[in-house]
Amino acid sequence: MEDKKVVIITGAAMGIGKAAVDRFGRAGWQIAAVDWNGEALAATEAEMTGKGYAVDAYVLNVADYDACAAMVTDVEAKYGRINGLYNNAGILGDRDGILGFDHETVKDAFEVNVFGSLNLIQLVARVMDRLGIQGAIVNTTSINAEVGTWDPIGYIGSKGAMKAITQGAAFHLGAQGIRVNAVSPGATITPMAASVYDVPPAREAVALNHNRHRWITPEEVANAAFWLISDEASGVNGIVVAVDDGYATGKGADLLGIFEEWESEHPQA
């Protein structure tokens, strides 16, 4: 059995999860790549193994506790350890807000985004605790957990819940030497985001909410998640790292630019 560190990455078929598979692969980790989209996951597995990375694919819905338990058991049996977990799987839901949301759609978002993450936090932490591994877990929250946005209310609520769960889990598991942190992406260029922001004016408006007026790349989020799980972040526990190009610092108008433009057009005013 090779002495590689082992990480489980969910939502691994596309977007941020796929970028994370690539990042951990480059660092020489053994990767259990999890997604419910079997076709897309198979393509990612083929691409990453073609680069020489050690990747095993598991097709499952993280909201299914028994399926998660079977996967975690298999990973431990194969490799004898689990050093990291990146809870990245998530769904967005529809665009309806408070006045028009569908209850079942909101429940679906919580089942995947919250309970799916909780399933794996518990299962993986039990393995780490039993084996005496001082591992690390990273969850995915969102800019939606920091500032008000128009995004689907089920998504907003679920990401707010994951921020609180991250802090609570860090407290609960710290005595076992298990660190729990989160990444909070701004608007990120992923297939899921493209399905919602499907018109150019909307994409442009969202870009303006970031300090440098551009979207975040999946690789930027994956790099942060990798750092949090790595030993380089060994003293970091219970925090949320914003990968949002300053979105959470404020998304108001560029007042300095407005003042400068006004003064140039109205000298001595």
Catalytic residue set: 155
C-alpha dist (Å) from residue 81 to 65, 133, 146, 225, 228: 20, 8, 35, 20, 19
Separation of alpha carbons 231 and 136, rounded Å:
9
For the packed helices 15-26 and 218-229, what is the interaxial angle rounded to 10 degrees?
A: 50
161: which residues sit within 8 A by CB, 6+ positions away?
A: 110, 113, 114
CB of 155 closer than 8 Å to CB of 93: yes
Largest CA distance in the chain: 77
- The set of residues, in sequence order, having a beta carbon less than 8 Å from that of 178 and lying 6+ positions away, is 125, 128, 129, 133, 134, 135, 136, 137
Residue pair 143/194 in contact (Cβ under 8 Å)? The answer is no
Encoded tokens for 239: 């925090």
